[in-house]
A and B are shown apart, each in its own frame.
Chain A
Amino acid sequence: MLLKQLKLTNFRQFIGEQTVEFAINEEKNVTVIMGENGSGKTTLAQAFTWCLFGDTDFEDKVVFNRSFERKMLPNQEAVVRVELSLVHNGIDYTIIREQLHKKDSQGRLKGNNTTISIAYKRNGQQEFVKYLEVDPLLKQILPKELSRYFFFDGERIGNMSKEIKKGKSQDFAKAVRGLLGLNAFISALEHLKPTSKYGVIGSYNDSYDSKSDQRISQYTTEIEKAQEEVDRIDLRLDEINNEIEKAQEQADKINALLLTMAETEKLQQDKMKLVNSMGKTRQARSSAMGSILKQFNSNYSTYFAKSLVLRTLEELSQASKLDKGIPDMHARTIEFLIKRATCVCGAKIEFGNDAYKELNKALEYLPPQSIGMSINQFVVESELKIKSSNNLFESITDQYKAIRDYESELEQCTADIQLIEKQIGDTKRIGHLQQDLSRYEKIKRDRINELKEINQRKGSLQTTRDRFISERAELTLRDEKNKKIEIYKAYAQFMYDELNKVYKKNEDETRQKLERYVNEIFRSIYQGGMSITVDERYNIQVLVEDENGYSDDVETSTAQSISVIFAFISGIIKMARENGSQQDGENKLLDSEPYPLVMDAPLSAFDRRRIKSVCDALPKIAEQVIIFIKDTDGELAEEYMGAMVGKRYLFSKKNEFETYLIPR
């Protein structure tokens, strides 16, 4: 596949109709489209994906130009369209995807589903691919599983890096095999496949003449039934294997996390100590606060009145008459004695005698006539209270100091706990992780058991099926017409078996060659003691080799990840290109297409030296290179690829909703 032209109509910020033509000249196979950040580089790269697969990586799935939308009148219709012209297998195709939009009477824009059509030229006449054949053709032109590698987005490298290393589907492996030139083998095997009802062997099974023996058709029905169940089991086996792989992957991740958490067990214990200590400190602070309040409540009045009371006592000490009273004596006592007419000493009290006069004289100094006694009592009480409040200030100060110390201790503990939590992460997750781990391990055990059970079932079904096949063959060989069918089937079976052997051998050799190429390209971009392996499912593993020759899987940096992806896809492109240009023409068995490399911001993670390595390598490896690049990297790319650049464009951004592509 080589890309010739991309025509956009109102696709996101590319307003109106805009066309980009790509360099396809062998000597000048590079197209550089340059623009500042936010000018539309990624959008243009996504236009390919939208055209081929009807989707983009943007969160906003509306691709209709906003500026054009504003100008539309109610009930007006307009389309967003992307037309991609390309050459595949020597045929010119134009892939057209469009989406009709209409503004309703209230001015809201509504988009229909997208539609796709593929036009091609046969004998100079333009024809359209039949609707049902569009998808299979797209799969051949560019399988969706591989599209993100050919339409490479340097800014979304993280996900690709994970994806390329693990967890690729069977579809991905199939797509790679197709690109590596094994498509004809795959198609032939599909057409011969003995287990398919619609394949060559299956259709022979349906064409037996049962007139000679009714049991032939009974056997055929039983064989088909058994085969259908075997097919269902095969599908389930695939699912189970994927589920086991995923569960194992999750369990490994959790185990790694738990291991890290076990290392922080000591920190966890320290944290618990701090938490306990904080509890005790809070309690101590609380009782100190209570004590302060209690002391304050009992003594505050005296404390605040102290100065006043002291001055009062001083004043009172200077009043001489206040000390003439009899302590604890009241006027009522005297009146009682006079009325009783006998004093406490036994003397008679009579009106006018000396005792009577003395007692009446004492009344002048006793309450209520005199306050001298009350004042005396006040003085005594005041002195006592003042004495008791003497230590209040010191006591409260000491306790307040203790509270301040408790506060500081609590603050310190809180800071220490935060620090520990930061180090050990969210420890609450440990419980959940253990639960998840058990769940994944259970899934694994269940699936392994299911695997055993259905494998046994499959074996028994296959035995039954083969027995019926053999019994049917015995019957069919008795009839001349059916015997012929058996002969044709035997040829088809032989071809299928041989083809499978050749395919597996070719596939193995192709994969080894791919691994060699990927390593060569990787080393030319990223120097260092690293190597790449490609397994049977085309999963990539990056190994670092130490001086003793041992190697281990490693986590890669962004620049390394991009280099790995570059190397992987460039390796595929290089092999596809080689297979496509082999000299034995029509007779060669492996056959594939050259492929372009469309890259959005491919150089952003590289340093100057690696940009040069990449720029040197890519135009030589890929048949066509299309780069969307920011101005600074673009200048470097043009400097290094110089002579290979055939087309140059510039993104001219007018505003957020209007960008124009200008040839340079």
Chain B
Amino acid sequence: MNSTNEIEIDVKKAERLLRKLILMEKQNLRTKQFNDAEMVKKIKKAIEEEAECY
């Protein structure tokens, strides 16, 4: 666990998210499917799903 501003996060989850994020970005660079705003939404969704998952 890691603490940021008194909030604890699961580092393993964060690292998983990080890898997922890079692969999402790679995929999108290739396909041009999503614009920046859509990508921000997708990343937020991925974070929320991972953070909620216990």
Interface residues of A (CB under 8 A from B): 89-91, 129, 133, 137, 140, 183-185, 187-188, 190-192, 198-200, 203-204, 470, 473, 477, 484, 486-488, 490-495, 498-499, 502, 586-587, 589, 591
Contacts and interface: CB of A to CB of B under 8 A. Distances in A.
Contact of B25 (A129, A187, A198, A502): A187
A587 B22 CA distance: 9
Interface string B29-48: 11010011101100110011
A304 B21 CA distance: 114
B36 A198 contact: yes
Contact of A587 (B7, B13, B23): B23
A129 B18 CA distance: 29
Residue in A192, A488, A490, A591 with the greatest tally of chain B CB atoms within 10 Å? A490
A523 to B, nearest CB: 34
A587 B14 CA distance: 17
A498 B15 contact: yes
28 contacts: A90-B30, A183-B25, A184-B29, A187-B25, A187-B29, A188-B21, A188-B25, A191-B39, A191-B40, A191-B43, A192-B21, A192-B43, A198-B37, A199-B40, A200-B40, A203-B44, A204-B44, A470-B5, A473-B5, A488-B47, A488-B48, A491-B13, A491-B17, A494-B9, A494-B14, A586-B23, A591-B26, A591-B29
A137 B35 CA distance: 11
A191 B25 contact: yes
Given A200-B47, A495-B17, A191 B36 contact: yes
B15 A589 contact: no
A488 B43 contact: no
The interface residues of chain A, by DSSP majority, are classed as: helix
Contacts of A90: 30
Q: Sorted from nearest, which 6 A-B pairs have the closest CB atoms?
A: A184-B25, A490-B4, A184-B26, A490-B7, A187-B25, A89-B30
A499 B43 CA distance: 14
B14 A495 contact: yes
Contacts of B44: 200, 203-204, 488
A140 B47 contact: no
A434 to B, nearest CB: 51
A487 B52 CA distance: 10
Contacts of B13: 491
Contacts of A586: 23, 26
Given A192-B43, A487-B51, A499-B18, A494 B4 contact: yes
Residue in A200, A502, A586 with the greatest tally of chain B CB atoms within 10 Å? A200
A495 B17 CA distance: 8
B38 to A, nearest CB: 10
Given A494-B4, A494-B9, A495-B17, A133 B25 contact: no
B51 to A, nearest CB: 6
B: contact size bracket: 20 to 34
Contacts of A477: 6-7
A246 B18 CA distance: 39
Contacts of A486: 5, 7
Contact of A493 (B4, B37, B40): B4
B10 to A, nearest CB: 9
B43 to A, nearest CB: 5
B14 to A, nearest CB: 5
A491 B14 contact: yes
A191 B14 CA distance: 16
A488 B40 CA distance: 13
Contacts of A591: 26, 29
A122 to B, nearest CB: 8
Contacts of A129: 32
Residue in A477, A495, A502, A586 with the greatest tally of chain B CB atoms within 10 Å? A495
Contact of B22 (A137, A140, A188, A470): A188
A498 B21 CA distance: 12
A477 B17 CA distance: 23
A587 B43 CA distance: 18
Contacts of B36: 190-191, 198
B9 A490 contact: yes
B29 A133 contact: no
Given A187-B29, A200-B47, A487-B9, 16 more contacts: A133-B35, A140-B29, A187-B39, A487-B7, A487-B51, A488-B47, A490-B5, A490-B7, A491-B9, A491-B47, A491-B51, A492-B47, A494-B9, A498-B15, A499-B18, A589-B22
A129 B29 CA distance: 14
Residue in A89, A494, A498 with the greatest tally of chain B CB atoms within 10 Å? A494
A216 B26 CA distance: 36
A443 to B, nearest CB: 37
Nearest to A192: B43
A491 B43 contact: no
Nearest to B15: A498
Given A187-B28, A191-B40, A191-B43, A488 B51 contact: yes
A589 B11 CA distance: 19
Contacts of B4: 490, 493-494
B13 to A, nearest CB: 7
Contacts of A589: 22
A491 B29 contact: no
Nearest to A483: B7
